[in-house]
Amino acid sequence: MEPLVSVIIPTYNYGHLLSKAIDSVIAQTYKNIELIIIDDGSTDNTKSVVESYDNKFTYINQNNTGVSSARNHGIIISNGQYVAFLDADDIWYQDKISVQVQYMLDHRECRSVSCQNLIINELTNEKKVSQYYNFSAYDCRYNFLSLSTRKTTFSGGSGVIIDKNIFNDVGLFNTKLTHGEDWEFWIRISYKYPIYMINKILYEIHYHKQTGQLRSMKKREKDLLWIYYNIISQPEHKLSIFQKRNILSNIYLSLAYDSETIKINKLTFKYLLKALYLQPSNLMLYKIFMIRLIRTINVDLLYKY
């Protein structure tokens, strides 16, 4: 018999987007799925959207305590051998769970696996495939160092499927973090287990107006730096000064990309300069900086004339 997969969708005021996420779960070719929706205190039409599906899944409405709390609530009440997460504004392709479960069954040492994704920026109408490095043939394995550097950034929360027993070993999501909570969790896993990545696009991430409004870049910076100073740079990880500067530089590069996505150019350049300061010999960073500078100057001239 196929193992049961518990799918957890945390949501907060995403009623206008939620049905697409739910439909993508229902459309999975893999059918032994338990769908759990944790409503983190929404004040919009989320409840009526869920009720329109005629109770085909578990729906829990909790006080607004954040995405980590919502995910943890879903994990605690789940019954599956495997747990998968789907953000309320993301969409799975039909074979996502089937491909990942089969991979885990074929590789018994694999306790967690993710996949490639397509990023759709609805603010700019741009589409791009996320770039994850170090693929070898069909899959790669991430370890603590590769995840910490963010050069091999792990796929978003909607891409992962996890053996539920892992939570007994590494704990649940950190409810103190508003941003980067999934990255911090993957790092904790990677310190004990390899994390596998399937080199196949199996879902879509959507950036939209609401995403930009809800993000506080200052809070995101604070949370990512907390992860660096309290988790990554601890003495037991035995990182060199070079490795620490590399990791911190890549955190600022990640922040630069995030601020660019929501069109905050001033912050983009601030974070790029910090990344350059930490890795002054990294020629790729200079290229990234100059491309953005030229692009910004051209846009300014266009509006001027």
Last residue of one domain, picked from the residues 146, 177, 207: 207
Same domain, 47 and 102: yes
SS3 of the chain: CCCCEEEEEEECCCHHHHHHHHHHHHCCCCCCEEEEEEECCCCCCHHHHHHCCCCCCEEEECCCCCHHHHHHHHHHHCCCCEEEECCCCCEECCCHHHHHHHHHHHCCCCCEEEEEEEEEECCCCEEEECCCCCCECCEEEECHHHHHHCCCCCCCHHHCEEECCHHHHHCCCCCCCCCCHHHHHHHHHHCCCCEEEEEEEEEEEEECHHHHHHCCHHHHHHHHHHHHHHHHCCHHHCCCHHHHHHHHHHHHHHHHHHHHHCCCHHHHHHHHHHHHHHCCCCHHHHHHHHHHHHHHHHHHHHHHC
Angle, in degrees to the nearest 10, between helices 217-227 and 181-190: 20
| The two three-digit tokens of residue 85, written as one number | 């997460």
Query: CATH number, domain at 90?
Result: 3.90.550.10
- Domain of residue 170 covers 5-207
Give the mean pLDDT of 205-211.
70
Percent of the chain with pLDDT over 90: 54
Q: What are phi and psi of 109, to 5 degrees?
A: -80, -10
Instruction: Give residue 73's pLDDT.
Output: 98
- pLDDT > 70? residue 95: yes
Residue 125's contacts (CB-CB under 8 Å, 6 or more residues apart) are none
Q: 241-271, pLDDT tens digit by residue?
A: 999 999 999 899 888 888 877 777 888 889 9
Same domain, 239 and 287: yes
Q: Bigger pLDDT: 207 or 80? A: 80
Q: Bigger pLDDT: 160 or 211? A: 160
Same domain, 57 and 174: yes
Q: Bigger pLDDT: 207 or 39? A: 39
Same domain, 44 and 179: yes
Same domain, 140 and 188: yes
Instruction: Give residue 299's pLDDT.
Output: 46
Q: 5-51, pLDDT tens digit by residue?
A: 999 999 999 999 999 999 999 999 999 999 999 999 999 999 999 99
- pLDDT > 60? residue 161: yes
User: Is the distance from CB of 154 to CB of 146 less than 8 angstroms?
Assistant: no
Instruction: Give residue 143's pLDDT.
Output: 73
- Which of 108-112, 154-158, 190-194 is predicted most confidently? 108-112
Same domain, 174 and 235: no
Same domain, 192 and 233: no
Same domain, 104 and 173: yes
User: Is the distance from CB of 126 to CB of 208 less than 8 angstroms?
Assistant: no
Instruction: Give residue 209's pLDDT.
Output: 62
Same domain, 232 and 168: no
Q: Name the nearest CA neighbour of 268 among 288, 284, 283, 248.
A: 288
Q: 224-240, pLDDT tens digit by residue?
A: 999 999 999 999 888 89
Instruction: Give residue 202's pLDDT.
Output: 94
- pLDDT > 60? residue 214: no
Q: What are phi and psi of 204, to 5 degrees?
A: -120, 140
Q: Kindly indicate the confidence band of residue 91, based on its pLDDT and cuts at 50, 70 and 90.
A: very high
pTM of the model: 0.86
Last residue of one domain, picked from the residues 172, 207, 242: 207
Last residue of one domain, picked from the residues 173, 207, 241: 207
Same domain, 153 and 246: no
Same domain, 158 and 106: yes
Same domain, 117 and 231: no
User: Is the distance from CB of 187 to CB of 155 less than 8 angstroms?
Assistant: no
Give the mean pLDDT of 186-206.
88
CA 251 to each of CA 80, 161, 222, 241: distance values in angstroms, whole numbers, following the listed order: 34, 25, 11, 15
Q: 274-297, pLDDT tens digit by residue?
A: 999 999 998 888 888 888 877 776
Instruction: Please give the tally of structural domains in the chain.
Output: 2
Instruction: Give residue 305's pLDDT.
Output: 42
Query: What is the distance between the alpha carbons of residues 59 and 227, in angstroms, rounded to a whole number?
Result: 32
Query: What is the distance between the alpha carbons of residues 70 and 66, in angstroms, rounded to a whole number?
Result: 6
